[in-house]
Amino acid sequence: MERIPILRMGNFLLVTIQVDMHDKLAMTLQDDLTKAIADFDSRGVLIDISTLEIVDSFIGRMLANIAAMSRVLDAETVLVGMQPAVAITLVELGMSLPGVRTALNVESGMELLQESVGSFHMSMNDGSAET
Amino acid sequence: MAVQKHEVVPIESSSDIVLIRQKVRGWATELRFTLVDQTKMITAASELARNTLEHGGGGKVLFEAISNGTRNGLRLTFEDQGPGIPDIEQALRDGFTTKNGLGLGLSGSRRLVNEFEIASKVGAGTKIVVTRWK
Amino acid sequence: MTRLPEIIQKYESEILADWMKEQLAAVRRRDLMNDVELREQCTALLRELARATVGGGVDTNSPAFETIRKMLSDISASRARQGFTPTETAVFVFSLKQPLVTRIRKEIGNDTVALFDELWNSNLLIDKLGLFTSEAYVKSREQIIARQQEEMLELSTPVVKLWDGILALPLIGTLDSARTQVVMESLLNAIVATNSRVAIIDITGVPTVDTLVAQHLLKTITAARLMGAECIISGVRPQIAQTIVHLGINLSDIITKSKLADAFALALQRSGRTVVKAGLQEQKPNANGQLVEENASRGVKG
C-alpha cells in the first residue's frame, strides 16, 4: 500500500507531502507519524507542503490533528511552505489552523524547531549516554 | 445560458474525490481561471464531492463549461439520492465549530464560489449547484 | 427567396466603390483609416454577404451568417482599439444601404411588389448587421476598460522591500472587495518571492476602516500566518482606533503600531536584528581569538 515517506533527521521527523492525497492516504500518514514520534522519541515534526496545491477541510483537519497529537507526545509540529493560493482558500473556507506553527520553508522551519526544542535538549545533554 | 461542454463523473469512492479535483483543475485551466480561482473551485469541489460520498452515500457530479454571453464559467452539479438534509439553513450556518461534518463543507464551499444553489429533500436526496465565473 | 445574392454579385465593383466613398466621407479620422485595408475588408464582407444571403436569407442569426458575424466582431474590436467612435464604426455597415438600394432599384425597377420586398430585405439586413456591429464594439470597449482597471489596480498595490526579509505594503485610498483581493495576492506572492518573515501593512493612507475592510485585512493576515509570515499593521490613526473598537473588531492577535517607523523597528527586532550606531570603536575578537579594535560596521547587524 502506498505511504508517504517519513524521514528521520536526528531528533526530528520530516514529511514532504507532494501528492494529491486521497482520504485513506492522509489517515495513514496521521497514524504513521504518531507511531514514528513514539518509536523514535522525536521532539519535532516538520511537514513540508510547499508543493501541495490543494488543502481542503479534510487535509486541514488532518494537519491540525497531527499537531495536536504530537504535542501530547511532547513533540512540536511546524508546517512549512504553504502556497499563497492555498492559504487564501483555507482562510476563505474558515480554517485558520490555530494550533499549528508555521514557517516559510524547511530551513526556517528547522530553525523554529531548534529554538523551541533544541535548547531543552542541550541542557539535558550532560555527556551521559544518548537515550 | 449556453453550455459548451459537459461531462458526468460518478462519486463512489474516495479516490473519485481525487479524480474530481484533477478534473476540475483541467477544466478550470482550459477556461483560463486564475490560480487562486482554480484553487478555490477545486477545493469547493473536493468538499462537496466528499459530502456527496459520505452523507449522500455516493452520487455523481455534472461538469459544465458555460457562457452567459460575456463571461465564461464552470458549473458543477452534485447530486445524490441519500438521506437529504433536514435543516439546510442550519447546515449552511454551521462553521468549523461543529463536529457534524456536513456543515463544514457546505458553508465553506459557498464562500469559495460565485453562485451556490442547494435543494434537498429528506429521504430523497440532495442537489447542489455551484458556479465560478472567469 | 431574396435576390440580394445575385444583385450583390452582379454589381459588386460599383457597390464597393460607392460604399468606400460613403465611408470615407463619414469618418473624421482619416489618419486612422488605411484605404487599402478598408478596401480589402469591404470586398471580403461584400462577397461573404452574397454567400450568406443565399442560404440564410436575411436571418443574421442563422449559421450561414457565422462568418460575417465573426468578421464584423473582429472589425469592431480593432476599430474600438484604434479609437474610432461608435458611430464611425456603425457607419461602416450602415453606409452600405445607399449603394445597395440604388442597385436594387436599377435591377428590379418597375415591379413594385418585388421592389418593395427587396428594399425591405436589404433594410432589415443592414440594420441587423449594423446593430450587431455596434454591440460588438461596445463589448470590446468594455473589455478594454476592464483590462485598464486591472492594470490600475496592480499599479496601486506596490509591495516594498524594507529590508532583507521585511516587506511593507502601503495602502492608499479606499479598500473595496476587488482591490483587496489583488492586494492580498500581491502581498502573499511577494512574501514567498522575497522569503520575508515580516510584512508591515501600513494603513496611514486609508481614510476609513469599516467591518468589511477589517475583515479583509484579517483574512490577509491569517493567510500570511499560515504561510509562515507575520504581519504588523501600522499607521493606525486615532479615529481608526476608535472605529475599530466601536465596531467590536477583535485585533487582539495582531500587532498594531501607530507609526511605520515603530513597526519597522519591531520587525527588525523580530527578525533577530539590531541597529548599531556608526563610527564607534568596538572591540571584537579576530580569527585568533584576540581582542582587536575596529570600526563597528554601520547600520543593521544580523
What ipTM goes with this model? 0.88
Domains, chain B: 2-133 (3.30.565.10)
Same-domain pairing of C23 and C82: yes
Percent of chain C with pLDDT over 90: 20
Averaged over B68-96, what is the pLDDT? 84
Q: How far apart (Å, rounded) are the C-alpha atoms in residues A68 and C41?
A: 70
Q: What is the pLDDT of residue C285?
A: 65
Q: Domain end: C150, C181, C197, which one?
A: C150
Domain membership of residue C225 (yes or no) is yes
Same-domain pairing of C89 and C120: yes
Same-domain pairing of C184 and C213: yes
Helix/strand/coil (H/E/C) assignment for every residue in A31-96:
HHHHHHHHHHCCCEEEEECCCCCCCCHHHHHHHHHHHHHHHHCCCEEEEECCCHHHHHHHHHHCCC
Q: What is the pLDDT of residue B95?
A: 55
Any chains having at least 3 CB pairs less than 8 A from chain B are A, C
Q: How far apart (Å, rounded) are the C-alpha atoms in residues C208 and C179?
A: 15
Q: Per mean pLDDT, which range of A24-28, C12-16, C123-127 is the poorest?
A: C12-16
Domain boundaries, chain A: 6-124
Tell me the residue length of chain A: 131
Higher pLDDT, residue C24 or A86:
A86
Count of domains for chain C: 3
Q: How far apart (Å, rounded) are the C-alpha atoms in residues B107 and B48?
A: 10
Same-domain pairing of C132 and C166: no
- Return the C-alpha cell found at C117: 420586398
Domain membership of residue C155 (yes or no) is no
Over residues C258-277, the pLDDT tens digits come to 888 999 999 998 888 887 78
Same-domain pairing of C32 and C77: yes
Higher pLDDT, residue C238 or C33:
C238
Q: Per mean pLDDT, which range of A70-74, B89-93, C283-287 is the poorest?
A: C283-287
Q: For residues A76 and A70, is the Cβ–Cβ distance under 8 A?
A: yes
- What is A6-124's CATH topology? Transcription Regulator spoIIAA (3.30.750)
**A54 in contact with B at a CB cutoff of 8 Å?**
yes
Residue C121 clears pLDDT 90, i.e. is over it: no
Q: For residues B9 and B45, is the Cβ–Cβ distance under 8 A?
A: no
Q: How far apart (Å, rounded) are the C-alpha atoms in residues C240 and C237?
A: 5
Residue from the list A87, A105, A109 with its beta carbon closest to the beta carbon of C226: A87
Q: How far apart (Å, rounded) are the C-alpha atoms in residues B64 and B77?
A: 8
Q: How far apart (Å, rounded) are the C-alpha atoms in residues B35 and B48?
A: 20
Q: B68 to chain A nearest CA, in Å?
A: 26
Same-domain pairing of C106 and C47: yes
Buried/exposed code over C60-84 (b: 16+ C-beta within 10 A; e: otherwise): beeebbeebbebbbebbbebbeeeb
Task: Find the CATH number of the domain harbouring C35.
Answer: 1.10.490.130
Contacts of C225 in chain A (CB under 8 A): 96, 102
Helix/strand/coil (H/E/C) assignment for every residue in chain B:
CEEEEEEEEEECCHHHHHHHHHHHHHHHHHCCCCHHHHHHHHHHHHHHHHHHHHCCCCEEEEEEEEECCCCEEEEEEEEECCCCCCCHHHHHHCCCCCCCHHHHHHHHHHHHCCEEEEEEECCCEEEEEEEEEC
Q: Domain end: C87, C118, C150, which one?
A: C150
Q: What is the DSSP string of C242-300?
A: HHHHHTT---TTSEEESSHHHHHHHHHHHTT-EEE-TT-EEEEE-TTS-EEEEEPPPEE
DSSP state of A114: I
C68: left (phi over 0), alpha (psi -120 to 50) or beta: alpha
Residue A131 clears pLDDT 50, i.e. is over it: no
If you average pLDDT over each of A92-96, B78-82, C20-24, C87-91, which comes out highest? Answer: B78-82
Averaged over C237-252, what is the pLDDT? 82
Q: For residues B58 and B80, is the Cβ–Cβ distance under 8 A?
A: yes
Sole residue written with cell 447542489: B128
**B66 in contact with A at a CB cutoff of 8 Å?**
no
- Residue C190's domain spans which residues? 160-271
Q: What are phi and psi of B69, to 5 degrees?
A: 105, -55
Residue C171 clears pLDDT 60, i.e. is over it: yes
Residue A123 clears pLDDT 50, i.e. is over it: no
Q: Using 50, 70 and 90 to split pLDDT, how confident is the model at A125?
A: very low
Q: B88 to chain A nearest CA, in Å?
A: 18
Q: What is the pLDDT of residue C156?
A: 64
Mean pLDDT of chain C: 83
Q: Per mean pLDDT, which range of B40-49, B92-101, C222-231 is the poorest?
A: B92-101
Same-domain pairing of C289 and C257: no
Residue B79 clears pLDDT 70, i.e. is over it: yes
Residue B101 clears pLDDT 60, i.e. is over it: no
Q: A46 to chain C nearest CA, in Å?
A: 13
Q: How far apart (Å, rounded) are the C-alpha atoms in residues C195 and C167?
A: 10
Residue B123 clears pLDDT 50, i.e. is over it: yes
> C123 to each of C7, C103, C130, how far by Cα in Å?
15, 13, 10
Residue from the list A97, A105, A108 with its beta carbon closest to the beta carbon of C226: A97
Residue of A nearest to C218 (CA): A91
**Continuous segment of H or E residues that includes residue C150:** helix C112-155
Record: contact B36-A89, CB cut-off 8 A: yes
**Continuous segment of H or E residues that includes residue C125:** helix C112-155
**Continuous segment of H or E residues that includes residue C161:** strand C160-163
Over residues C192-223, the pLDDT tens digits come to 999 999 999 998 888 887 787 788 888 999 99
Residue of A nearest to B102 (CA): A57
Q: How far apart (Å, rounded) are the C-alpha atoms in residues C62 and C55?
A: 9
If you average pLDDT over each of A21-25, A50-54, C51-55, which comes out highest? Answer: A50-54
Residue of A nearest to C189 (CA): A84
Residue C294 clears pLDDT 70, i.e. is over it: no
Q: Per mean pLDDT, which range of B9-23, C11-25, C119-133 is the poorest?
A: C11-25
Same-domain pairing of C293 and C203: no
Residue A17, classified by CB atoms within 10 Å of its CB into exposed (0-12), middle (13-18) or buried (19+), is: buried
Residue C296 clears pLDDT 60, i.e. is over it: no
Higher pLDDT, residue C300 or B124:
B124
Over residues A80-108, the pLDDT tens digits come to 999 999 999 999 998 889 889 999 999 99
Q: ∠ CA(B34), CA(B37), CA(B41), 5° rounding?
A: 135
Mean pLDDT of chain A: 87
**B41 in contact with A at a CB cutoff of 8 Å?**
no
DSSP state of A117: I
Q: How far apart (Å, rounded) are the C-alpha atoms in residues A48 and A107?
A: 11
Same-domain pairing of C144 and C15: yes
Which amino acid, one-letter code, is at B50? R
Q: Domain end: C150, C168, C199, which one?
A: C150
Q: How far apart (Å, rounded) are the C-alpha atoms in residues C158 and C135?
A: 36
Which amino acid, one-letter code, is at B77? T
